[in-house]
Structure 1
Amino acid sequence: MSKSISADELGRFRDNLQGRKDAAVIARSVAKNGILASATDYEAATKMEPVFSIDLDTGKVADQKRSGRCWMFACLNTMRHAIREEYKVADDFELSQNYTFFWDKLEKANYFYENVLKTADLPTSDRKVAWLMTTPQQDGGQWDMIMAIIEKYGVVPQSVMPETVNSSNSTEINDMLNLKLRKDAVELREMVAANATDDDIATRKEKMLTEVYRMLAYSFGEPPTTFDFEYRDKDNNFHRDTNLTPKKFFDKYVGWNLSDYVSIINGPTKDKPYNHMYTVEMLGNVVGGREVRHLNVDMNEFRKVAIKQLEAGESVWFGCDVGKESDRKKGIMDTNLYHQDELFDVDFSMSKADRLDYCQSLMTHAMVLTGVDLVDGEPTKWKVENSWGDKVGTKGFFVMSNDWMEEYCYQVVVNKKYLPDELKQVLNEEPTMLKPWDPMGSLA
């Protein structure tokens, strides 16, 4: 039986508050300065100096501006680090995030239409249908999703397809795309209900995608099919490479075997035993392209493989819950940064598994590990390249404590050669399918 808050209980609440000697002092501080400022441990920040025993030189940080492309920026940043090292391009050289953004939006539209058709016999009240319609498409994504785009479309330098107002501030195009996709979903579901032929549905869907392509071309510009790449290296030597396609550019200037890079997660919930593979239903972008696959491991292994890749001189894409226990301005992520529990005299502690299961945390942002400070072989703090420009942190770089990584990091991407042999074998197993709303399916 439900029970409302009684007058007697309210009286006890007031008595409890008034019985605290420090209540008035704390209330004044919180009301005047805010919760985080009142709970800040200023000494903790002094322990997070940006000095690391392994510190990769990766050049100038990028800026995703008012868009949700962190996962894309982080991936392209790891690739430009390699180009910078090999070809001595300028520190501010970038691969075009606008180019991959265009193709991701188009492919997500097609992926959405296909899922609408697959679920067309379900009522709109069904959880899967509701999940689809809540956000038909968005800026966020996963490592395997940007791999699917690059495998199909390649990459280009930013100079070939630069940013536009809409790629740097994606709110308006997202609003218009989601309006269109929901409207198209109504029509596709009605066509299925009316027993329209597969050919008729395919013809109508192609017209819908033609309209999406036009919207994207107006907003982002049309992607190049061929281009010339010109640059001066750090020794001031001029280079010109002509008549490149985006895939030829990738093969020549990046040259990675993308299948070598695998997603390693730490999801310590009971439904995801360690050392097994997982995928997520209805998570992806390119129909028929690369599937999202995660290898779940404990944090000890999680850190080991990241350190191995850094020791080899290669940066590491990672995903985390960036808003928790972090100071964006100072560029510090540390579990000792704030003491809200002491401020309110309330126990806020939750296990990592409970935070995932009860919607208190999930992956919200992707960045790049570019360094680590090892003491007696153990990590104490990590250097992080963000994509929020150079006005935050130390010229755009953040410092992350090892304890913070333990609690709020969920994913790293490493070359599979750094995995122990027993985990390499696990990569070949058929992944367990997770529900669309599983926290490991969140988009950075």
Structure 2
Amino acid sequence: MNASLLNPFTVTHPTAVQTSLVSGASFARFDPTGKFVAAGRSDGSAAIWDLDTRAVIRWCEGHVKAVTSVDWSRNSRYVLTSSKDWNVIIWDLASPVDPPQRYNTIRFDAPVVSAYFHPRNSRIVLALLSTGEAYVVDSRKEHRARVELCETLSEDDDDERARSIMTTARFDPSGRHVFVGTSTGNVLVFNSRTKIMVARHRIAGAGSMKSLEFAKVGRRFATNSSDRTIRQFILPTYPSPIAGAECAILETELEPTHRFNDPISKVSWHAMSYSPDGEWLAGGAADPATHKIYIWDISNDGQFATALDGGREPLIDIHWHPQASRLASTTNQGSVLIWHCPSPERWGAFAGGFEEADENVVYEEGESEFDIENEVELALRKKLQEDEAVDVLGGIDDLVDHKMNGVAGDPGDEDIEWADDEPDDDWQGWRLKVIMVDDDDAY
């Protein structure tokens, strides 16, 4: 039986282009609610698109060189942009002005390749520089610091030159650890609170790491490397370091559960992204002639599901919607394609007794189908139905809190308590200010 009939809320993969946003973008990222898209541009600006109106609602203009990454805070109030101009700017979308107010500016000594918020606190930022260095910047008053993540060398590596170059860095979904990919095919794991390296994973034959991706649920983890192969792993658990105690580094060689590649054209991959439930993995092919997105079914032993064709403009980036079966793919011409899964209209949902017929049939009238009903009794019955109490909020608060702040963690965990100390202002009740314009003024 079709799985979608068993569970109507099952997220499937997109199949068709719903709309195209002409934005001059180099990449695009959905916000955690899925209502907005942030598009980073090569002119140093970032555009915030409203998917309902398909219009630009904010322009984040503050960089003088190309934007290299965009990230959203957990409740979408703050937007982070990093750039080749050595700066990371955090924008406050709750400010009633355009461009939005700068909440914070972090300057480094080299171009910034990427930057990300901590999943639990937007005052903690992870940044990767073009010089191969990764920093965790904490702007909280009691924890203010800028700490470089340094690889701990083994006893055999006495030479400083043995230290590998960091090519990609990400927080894991819980925020407890920072995962760093290196040019030598290793994945380094650091504790976010102590900044101590807790593990080094070797990946045989991978080559230089290009990007890392985590599933939002479970412990699935994917790597994109220079050998043109996407690998998926199941991560082990890491003990939390104890202050003042020497921590043993976990040295292992990870064995992938799945390997994904194109056996025919042998293309490399620009980007990859998991579906919200982690059951699908999309890979954006680095094909110079076509716009190809490959999708694999993780729940079905990683079987290839389909290849989406977006036309002749080559793909440079993809990102999966955080809640629905939608994808955002960016072309080399700056257009952002929004993919969706079209569903046929079911008219029977508007009336319980309505039936759809594929061909003309003779209709047989029921015995009392068109009888005139007493208007007084009809009005009384409607009034009684209107007076019935309907619980429209039951269970919603827990669901929203899980999805919006949905970071798994024990409240007594020391790493979680550290991240929640001095919380930011990114609370759920904030609202995006509507900017009114007159005549030909734009916003």
Q: TM-score range by the shorter chain?
A: under 0.3
TM-score by length of 2: 0.26
TM-score by length of 1: 0.26
Higher RCO (C-alpha under 8 Å, 6+ residues apart): 1
Bigger Rg, structure 1 or 2: 2
Query: Quick check: which one's helix share is greater?
Result: 1
Query: Quick check: which one's strand share is greater?
Result: 2
